[in-house]
Structure 1
Amino acid sequence: MDHEGEGPGGPVTSREQDAVRLLLLIDGACEPLTDADRAVPLLEHAVGVMRTQVKLQKLDFWLRNPDYLANELLTEYESDREQALLDIASRILGSEEPEVRRYPMLRHHFGAYEWLDDALAVLRSAGLLVRRRRGTVNRVRQHDYFLLQEGRRVAREIVSEAPAFDYYVKQVELVLRLAGEKSGSELKKQQYLTREYAETPRGSRIASISEQARRRLASIRQGLQEQGAGKA
C-alpha cells in the first residue's frame, strides 16, 4: 500500500487502508470462540475473536512499525540465539521496509494508540466484524472484535486478488510469533522497555528507531565475527 500522505511525525494512512490492515490482522490473530460466545445472538456467523482493544493496538503497533518489530526480534535473538530471528531482523533492517512501510502511532497514556473506530466502522458496516463491549453503560472494561464468516472470506479474497497485501499476512505471522500468549497489558509493558518509545511525550507520534536498530544489528554481527575469530 502506498502512503496516503504525510502528517506530523511521518506518513499517515487512510481509513480504507487501516480497515484492510486491521481485517488481515484480526483474521490472523483471532482466537477460537467459546461456547458462551456462540450462544450470543448475532454471533452465529462468527469464526473467531480478537479480545481487547489494548491487544489490538499493541499488535498493530508492531505491524505498522517494522523498525520496532525488527528491534524486538533482535531482543528475542539475544535471549535464545535462534538464527532465524537474526535472519528475519537482518532482512527487515537491510531493506527500506522500516521507512516505506512505517505508519507511526501516537504515544497515549497506555502506550501506542491510534484512533481506529472509523476503520473498524467500515468493517462492521460491511458485515465483516462485530464489536461487543463488556462492562457497564458508564464504564466499558473491554472491547472484543468478532470476525464473521464474510470477514474471513473477504480477507482471503483481498490477498488473492491483490498479492501485495500478502506482505501484511506475513507480518502478522511475525507479530504473533513475538506476542506469543501475552495479553494486551503484557505487550504494553514489553513495548515500554524500548527507551525511545517510553520517552515519547504523550500526544506525540512515536519516532522511528530504524538507525538505532541497524546499529544494534551491526554490533551483534561484529560480536559474532569476533567469537568466530576467537574459535579459529
Structure 2
Amino acid sequence: MKLDFWLRCPDFLAHELLTEVEQERQPAGPTLRLVAGMIGGVAPSLHRYPMTKYLYGAYERPDNALALLASRKHIAVRRVNESSSNARRDYYLLPRGQEAATALQADIPEMIWYVRQAQAIGLIPEAVTGGRMRQRQYEHEAYKAVAAGKLIPDITEEVTLRAQELSARLGLTWPPDTQQDAAGGGHG
C-alpha cells in the first residue's frame, strides 16, 4: 500500500523527491525535471487516484485487483513467516505479467507515465519496506493530520511552491524543461 500510495499520488511522491534533492541524495536538475513532470500540466488530474487513510496509513483493499492478476497468472503472492502475527506478503511479477505489461506499454503509450513513477519511487531509500515508507509518509503534516477513513488530500499546490523555492535557491529555472528526460536525459 505504501508503494501504491506514492504511485497513485504524484504530489506526495514529488514532495519526497524534493526532500531527496534538499538532502543532496539526488541530483537537482534531473530530479526537478521528474517533479515537474509529476505535478505539471494534466498529470495530477489524470493520474492522481486518492487513497483513504486507515490505522496504518494509506490503504485500499487490494484483493479484487490482485485476484484478477493472480487468476491470469500475471503475479504470484507468497506469505512470508505465516506463523507470525505480522506475516508479510511478497508479490512476484511472473513472465505472463511481464508480457502483459510490455504489451500495454506498446499499445497505450501513456502507460509509460506509470513506469516512470515506479522508477522515481526507487530513488527514495526508504522505499524498501512498508514500515520505513510509512514512517516517511507520516512526516508530512497533511498526511499525518488526516483522520482514519478520510481521503488523503492533494498537496500539488504546496509542492509546486516548494519546487519553485528550491529551484530559486539552487539557481535553476522553474519549471525545468521536462523534454530533456523524454529524450533520454536524467534518471533512467
Question: Normalising by the residue count of structure 1, what TM-score does the alignment of the two structures yield?
Answer: 0.67
Q: Residues 123, 211 of structure 1: CA spacing in aligned structure 2 closer, same or farther, 3 A cutoff?
A: same
What residue number does 1:11 align with? none
Query: Are the equivalent residues in 1 in contact too, given 2:126–2:133 (CA < 8 A)?
Result: no
> Which of 142, 145, 155 is 1:196 aligned to?
142
Q: Would the aligned equivalents of 1:129 and 1:146 in 2 still touch at CA under 8 Å?
A: yes
The residue identity in structure 1 corresponding to 2:45 is E
Unmatched 5+ residue regions in structure 1? Answer: 1-56, 227-232
Q: In structure 2, what residue type is equivalent to 1:147?
A: L
Percent identity over the alignment is 33
Structure ranking higher on relative contact order (CA contacts 8 Å, 6+ apart):
2
Please identify, of 109-118 and 161-170, the stretch whose mean Cα deviation from structure 2 is larger: 161-170
Q: Pairwise CA RMSD of aligned residues?
A: 2.2
Deviation at 1:154, TM superposition (A): 1.4
Deviates more, 1:94-103 or 1:67-76: 94-103
Q: How many angstroms does 1:197 deviate by?
A: 0.5
- Give the structure with higher Rg (CA): 1
Which structure shows the higher strand fraction? 1
Counterpart residue type for residue 76 of structure 2: V
Cα distance in 2 for partners of 1:136, 1:94 equals: 43
> Which residue does 2:115 correspond to in 1?
169
Show the counterpart of 1:82.
27
Partner amino acid, structure 2, of 1:116: P
Match for 2:7 among 40, 63, 72? 63
How far apart are the structure 2 equivalents of 1:136 and 1:64?
Answer: 29
Q: How far has the Cα of 1:169 moved from its partner? A: 1.2
Report the secondary structure of 1:178's partner residue. Answer: coil
Q: Give the conservation status (yes or no) of the 8 Å contact 2:3–2:127.
A: no
Per-residue deviation, residues 153-196 of structure 1 (Å, max 9, x unmatched): 11112212222212211211111122466321111101111110
4+ long deviations beyond 6 Å = none
Tell me if structure 2 keeps the 8 A contact 1:133–1:140.
no
Out of 57, 64, 69, the residue aligned to residue 118 of structure 1 is 64
Moved more, 140-149 or 95-104: 140-149
Is 1:220 aligned to 2:166, yes or no? yes
Extract unaligned runs of 5+ from structure 2: 173-188
Q: Do the aligned partners of residues 73 and 136 (structure 1) sit closer, same or farther apart at CA in structure 2, a change above 3 Å counting?
A: closer
CA distance in 2 between counterparts of 1:123 and 1:184 reads 21
Q: Measured at CA, do residues 138 and 74 of structure 1 come closer, stay the same or move farther in structure 2, by a change above 3 Å? A: closer
